[in-house]
Amino acid sequence: MNGSISNVNLTKPQAVTVDGNIEDRHKKTMGSLGDPPILGDVSENSVAEAPNSEVEYIESENLKDVEDVENCLQTLLSGLGSKDWISVCDALNNVRRLSIFHKEAIVDMLSDVISLIVKSLKNPRSAVCKTAIMTSADIFKAYNDEIFDSLDSLLVPLLLKSSQDKKFVCEAAESALIAMTKCVSPLLLLPKLQSHIKNKNPRIRAKASLCISRTVPRLGVDGIEAYGIENLIQIGASQLIDKLPESRDAARTLLLELKSVYEKSHVSEPTDESEEPGTTSWEHFCKSKLSPLSAQAVLRVTNIAREGLASGS
């Protein structure tokens, strides 16, 4: 009893290194909503936890290599599955280090590692959750399409965390989603994202829409044609009427990209002297692929945006 970790934590606050954003270090309380704000992280089961534990997060570029790769690999899974949150954070940071400096070393255990990262993403303790989010971003950057089979398990909690109320967790999840849209092949990623734009949770729909609007330009003209511009325009049209402004803004961005691509690859001759090449073609395309109301909404959005760009030039 006298030599237990819990007693040490009560009498001697510990410093945990988990990121470099100084502004995120204050008021990160993981206790119940009624708990007074304190430095560090406190969960519901934190009776034996240091009340003044300080939490610091490390950005990817500031991470240093592990000292002993073999020992780190041997203890990695047990650390990620530990009941001690400090051990979990240490193990998550080791995953980040290994993915940056020794990415081939954990390829064989990557599936098990990601499963435990997902578990940490759902952890109610904000220090564990945010470190897991940062680990997800580094995993995307290191392994790209190699994590495709595990993408669904990472995507859902990241979409949820990016839309929750805690700002510092939300911002970290948003950064991880940006890393995902930059690093995973758009042809592989888009079908995964598309399944979430009909989610019952409007915030998940909004974040999925935003990811789609970021991903589509990476396809390029040929890629958009190959994926199906008809499919993409229907996605944009459906999100134009979403209840959240973030969804509608993402839809506008997507539709403007699709219009630009369509007019580059389907330029038509003007039907009379007052019309510009491509204008009628885009209009006819929208009307042929969408309901009258949806086509009208898409044309209104894309034409207003175009007129605004022209008046500002």
Q: 58, 93 in Cβ contact below 8 A?
A: yes
Instruction: Read off φ and ψ for residue 82, nearest 5 degrees.
Output: -65, 155
Write down the pLDDT at residue 266. Answer: 74
Comparing 170 with 165, the larger pLDDT belongs to 170
pLDDT at residue number 247: 96
Residue 230, amino acid: E
Tell me what pLDDT residue 265 has.
84
pTM, entire model: 0.78
User: pLDDT tier at 268 (50, 70, 90 boundaries)?
Assistant: low
pLDDT band (50, 70, 90) for residue 280: low
Q: Provide DSSP, 157-169.
A: HHHHHTTSS-HHH
Q: Is the pLDDT of residue 3 over 80?
A: no
So what's the pLDDT on residue 58? Answer: 93
The string of pLDDT tens digits covering residues 69-88 is 999 999 999 999 999 999 99
Task: Work out the pLDDT band at 65, boundaries 50, 70, 90.
Answer: very high
Average pLDDT, the chain: 82
Of 252 and 309, the structure prediction assigns the larger pLDDT to 252
Convert the pLDDT of each residue in 175-229 to its tens digit: 999 999 999 999 999 999 999 999 999 999 999 999 999 999 999 999 999 999 9
The whole-number pLDDT of residue 163 equals: 87
pLDDT given at position 7: 39
Q: Is the pLDDT of residue 303 over 50?
A: yes
What string of H, E and C letters represents the secondary structure of 20-52? CCHHHHCCCCCCCCCCCCCCCCCCCCCCCCCCC
Q: Which is more confidently placed, 264 or 158? A: 158
- According to DSSP H, which parts of the chain are helical? 5-11, 69-80, 85-101, 110-121, 126-143, 151-161, 167-183, 186-194, 202-215, 220-227, 229-240, 245-265, 279-289, 292-312
pLDDT digits 0-9 by tens, 86-134? 999 999 999 999 999 999 999 999 999 999 999 999 999 999 999 999 9
208 near 216, Cβ under 8 Å? Answer: no
Residue 43 pLDDT exceeds 60: no
What percentage of the chain carries pLDDT values higher than 70? 75
Residue 166 pLDDT > 90: no
Give the number of residues written for the chain.
Answer: 313
Q: What is the pLDDT of residue 22?
A: 36
* Least confident piece of the model among 26-35, 129-138, 169-178: 26-35
Residue range 166-173: mean pLDDT, rounded: 93
Give per-residue pLDDT as tens, 232-261: 999 999 999 999 999 999 999 999 999 999
